[in-house]
Each structure stands twice: as structure tokens, then as C-alpha cells.
Amino acid sequence: MWFIFVSTSTIVTLIIIVSLWEKFQTNPTITGLDTDFHNWDVPFPGISVCPYSPARREVIEEYVKEKWGESLTEEKINYLSNFVNLIANLSYDNMNELEAYKNDKIVPQSDFRALVYKVVDHCEDILFDCYWKGKEFDCCDAFFPAFTEKGFCYSFNSIHAEKIWPGKENTDEAEIKINYIYETDTKWTMEFDGNTTDNPYSIYIHSSDELPGVEMSPQHIWTQTVNKMFFASRTTYTTADARQLTAKQRKCIFEDEVKLKTAEKYSYWACMSDCRMRASMDKCNCVPFFYHQVSGFPYCDLEGLMCLSKIADELRRSLNCPCELGCENTVYEVEKLSNSMDEEPIEIGFVSWPMIRYKREVLFGWVDLLVAFGGIAGLFLGFSLLSGVEIIYYFTMRAACMIYRNSETLIKLEEESQEKILPNIDLGLKISKDETKISPAKVYPMVIPNKKMYANVPFLN
């Protein structure tokens, strides 16, 4: 019975400990609501405006004639214009079209960024009448050029936009400041107008430390049929206690926890970009020019782009990159669109003041795991930490000391035990025949009391 109870208790203890360990590995955190909305700054998201065709056809043809001369045939002009237009719109989606220009030495072979800057529409050509929080401002003071995996864009409130570009009046690096909104602001919106009659704009709403990427889809394709677009933000942050857990356990990574070669701070977008850039370097020893400049990651020439075009589908499928969300990340969801009665500017802003955030904190940490293990072992086996120390002590230090310090005594005891004659003890349960015999009882003479026996007892007389 003792063996059965101990075995059963051990099995139950192990089963419960395994289930606790699985809980610790898969679900050690809990996400709740943080309603203390008066004590945090609310950053306005990054707004990226990406024209369907960032370069106009007439500008491209002028560039072709200026670079290759006026004597080109119409067929050659169209051929070169199509190449320039492809470079201006280059992304992973259309990179395979470069195969048509393989081994053609007449087309530009490198320095594609400079080519794009010469043919794309400038900021003042596509954006005007800008208002921030109801106050007018110069669009080109806040919308900066941005090379993205979705093509050429102009981005507002994004720290990864280009700070220096050809044609900029001031050649110093532009200062990009993150814009915030406050409860006391009269408006929480940004407004602008554009020419979208024949050239729709893809509008991306994202965090200020991101740019449009392969995983993103535009929140709206603007053709001036909508004049208001309001969104809600869903912000999740993680408490510092979660650092005791691994990234796999908490399912997020702190911005200073993983060092990326291509970005100062970790984010999901930065990790995915870094993964694709590393894959491009491994396969073709270069990266596409629509990534930001990073030391050790040279831009591809035409031959390099041809190489990348062969693995473009693989790069677009994310390569199984080991990227987790950032421990502080924000998702923007469009909740309201208002149709325009005429060709009106578009107003983009918060649908309401963000009153809640999501807080991820530790529910089951290392201390909780240790307490749970000890409680289960104590309940079923009477086991404690001191018992474990004693077991380790007796089978390690104590045994070693006896072997090395008392070896002569151990040998003597062993010899005595071998020489000692052990009694023959029958441990069987069957009753022997000798034990069934009943020995005769001894007969003792009966003594009959009389008065002489109690003559000296007063109370009996």
C-alpha cells in the first residue's frame, strides 16, 4: 500500500508540474486595460502618401531626351521611358519586370536614387493646402520624401523619412520632430489636398517609427471621393517586470533588447526590413535602393537588382523571419469615412480622444512557478526544499567523505557483514505444520482459601 500511494503521488505531482511549466512557457502574461489616460503623451501617427505613379510621363520623357539626346526614335524613347518609370515605381511587386532589360548597357546601371529624385513629382506638386490641428502650414516643411517597400512616398511624422535629398534648398539634415496631440487642442487632425484625378494616392497610417512595408495595406485609396477619415488607436505597452520572461513567452520584444544592424530601436517593421536586407546580402551581396542607407549594406546596381528579382517572391513572403511585435506597439484602425460632395481636401485624425491603453503584465513569473512547484510537491509527497538539500547532501558530499575519509572503517564493516552468519528467517506467508500444533496447557493446583489465611486481616474477621 505504501508503494502504491507513493507511486501514485509521484505521478500526479509530475503531471501537475508539467502542466504548470507549460502554462509558464505559453501563457505567463495577462493583458488588461489602463484607463489612466491623463498621464501619457499621445503621438500623432505617421501619414504616408504614396501616389500610384510618382513620376509623370512627360517629365520622364524630358529626362530621357536630356540624357540620351533628342535624336532618339519614338520606339527608343518609349523603351527608355518605361525603364525609368519602372525604377521610379520599383518595389518587390514589379521587380521581375527588370528581366526585359537584361544585358542592355544603354539603360542606367547604378545610382538609381538620384534618377528617381530627378523624375518624381516634388512635394509641392502633389500636396498643398495643409493644416495641422486647424492651423495652416507649408506641406513640404512636414512631408518628407520616403523610399519604401511600397514605392516612393511622402511621409508626415515618420522618423525614417529622408532628411537630405537633391534639390533641397538647405543642404543640412532636416529635423524631423514627432508631433503630439493634447486634450486641450481644438482639433486632432491633419488636412491636405492633392491632384488625384488621374493618379490616386495610397494613404498609409502607421507608427512614427515605421514606413509602409510589405506586410501593410493602405487604409484608403484616395481619389477625392472621401473628405474625412477618422481612426482609432490601439496601444499596447508592457511593464518592466516582463523582462524576466523570454521574448517567446511574453510574445514581444523591448526596443533595446535586440540590436538590429539596420535600425537603432527594435520594432516589428524594423525587424522585417532587417531580415529582408540580410537575405538580400546573402543572396546577391547588395540591397534595393528603396531601403535607407546603412553601412555594410551597399545598394544594388542593375545586375544586383536582376539577381533580387529572382528571389522577390521569397522576400515578399517574409522568409519566416523570427520577428515578434514590439512590447510597445500601436495599431491604427479606420472607423469612419465621410463621402465628399465635391473634390475636397481630406481630413485625417482621431475619431475620439484615446481614453484607454492595453497593459501587458506578468501573471505567472519565476517566483510563482517556484511556489507552485513547492506547494504541489509538499502536498503529495511531503517534499520540501530542505529535503531536497538533504538528499543531495547524503548522496554526494556525505558519500564522498565516507569513501575518502573513512574507507578503512567501511572495509572493516563490509568484512564483518560477510563473516556474520545470518539466521534463516522464513518470510513466507504460508503457515508451517509445526505452528498449527497446540502445546498442552500447564495445570496449576487450585488453592482454596480458609479462615486461617486471613486471620491477620482485621476487616475480614
pLDDT, position 202: 92
Q: Using an 8 Å Cβ cutoff, are 338 and 218 in contact? A: no
Give mean pLDDT, residues 214-241.
90
pLDDT, position 39: 57
Residue 449 pLDDT > 70: no
Kindly report the number of other CB atoms within 10 A of residue 331's CB atom. Answer: 15
How is 235-271 classified by DSSP, letter by letter?
A: EEEE-GGGGGS-HHHHT-B-TTTS--SS-SS--HHHH
Give mean pLDDT, residues 424-430.
72
pLDDT, position 155: 93
What's the first-to-final CA gap in the chain, in angstroms? Answer: 63
* Per-residue pLDDT band at 14 (split at 50, 70, 90): very high
Residue 205 pLDDT > 90: yes
Q: Look at 95-109, 309-323, 413-427 and tell me which has the smallest mean pLDDT.
A: 413-427
Q: Rounded to whole angstroms, how far apart are CA atoms 245 and 259?
A: 18
pLDDT, position 172: 59
pLDDT, position 132: 93
Give mean pLDDT, residues 442-449.
53
In order of 234, 324, 330, the CA distances from 333 in angstroms are: 8, 20, 10
Query: Which one is predicted more confidently, 41 or 330?
Result: 330
Q: Rounded to whole angstroms, how far apart are CA atoms 49 and 64?
A: 26
pLDDT, position 224: 85
85-114 pLDDT, tens per residue? 999 999 888 888 888 888 778 888 888 898
Share of the chain above pLDDT 90, in %: 21
Closest CA to 81 of 95, 64, 68: 64
376-386 pLDDT, tens per residue? 888 888 888 78
pLDDT, position 461: 44
pLDDT, position 432: 59
Grid-cell match 506578468, residue found = 362
φ/ψ region of 69 (left if φ > 0, alpha if ψ in -120 to 50, else beta) reads left
Query: Which one is predicted more confidently, 457 or 278?
Result: 278
Strands 220-222 and 346-350: unpaired
pLDDT, position 173: 63
Give mean pLDDT, residues 174-186.
83
Residue 130 pLDDT > 70: yes
Q: Rounded to whole angstroms, how far apart are CA atoms 52 and 59?
A: 16
Closest CA to 205 of 234, 226, 238, 236: 234
Closest CA to 235 of 45, 427, 446: 45
**Phi, psi angle pair for 156, to nearest 5°:** -110, 130
> Which cell goes with 155?
511621409
pLDDT, position 177: 81
Q: Rounded to whole angstroms, how far apart are CA atoms 225 and 338?
A: 9
> Which cell goes with 292?
535607407
Computed over every residue of the chain, the mean pLDDT equals 84
Residues in a beta bridge with 45? none
pLDDT, position 459: 46
Give mean pLDDT, residues 290-319.
87
> Which cell goes with 447?
488453592
Query: Which one is predicted more confidently, 370 or 440?
Result: 370
67-90 pLDDT, tens per residue? 887 777 888 888 888 999 999 999
Q: Using an 8 Å Cβ cutoff, are 83 and 101 in contact? A: yes
Give mean pLDDT, residues 126-151.
90
Edge-first strand order for the sheet with 143-148 is 143-148, 151-156, 46-51, 201-206, 220-222
* Per-residue pLDDT band at 215 (split at 50, 70, 90): confident
318-336 pLDDT, tens per residue? 678 888 899 998 999 999 8
In order of 7, 8, 140, 173, 391, the CA distances from 4 in angstroms are: 5, 6, 81, 78, 22
What does pTM read for this prediction? 0.78
Q: In sequence order, which ranges of 333-439 are alpha helices (DSSP H)?
A: 366-381, 385-393, 399-405, 407-419, 433-436
pLDDT, position 192: 93
Residue 452 pLDDT > 70: no
Q: Look at 18-22, 102-106, 190-194, 429-433 and tell me which has the smallest mean pLDDT.
A: 429-433
Closest CA to 218 of 234, 233, 200, 236: 200
Helices (H) and strands (E) counted in the chain, each on its own, are 14, 15
The angle at the Cα of 248, spanning 216 to 219, to the nearest 5 degrees, equals 15
Fill in the amino acid letter for 408: E
Share of the chain above pLDDT 70, in %: 90
Q: Rounded to whole angstroms, how far apart are CA atoms 113 and 72?
A: 24
Q: Rounded to whole angstroms, how far apart are CA atoms 155 and 163?
A: 11
Closest CA to 116 of 74, 142, 96, 87: 87
Q: Taking every pair of C-alpha atoms in the chain, what is the biggest distance, in angstroms?
A: 164
337-378 pLDDT, tens per residue? 888 877 788 999 999 888 888 899 888 888 888 888 888 888
Query: Which one is predicted more confidently, 293 or 454?
Result: 293
pLDDT, position 460: 44
Q: Using an 8 Å Cβ cutoff, are 351 and 232 in contact? A: yes
Give mean pLDDT, residues 182-190.
88
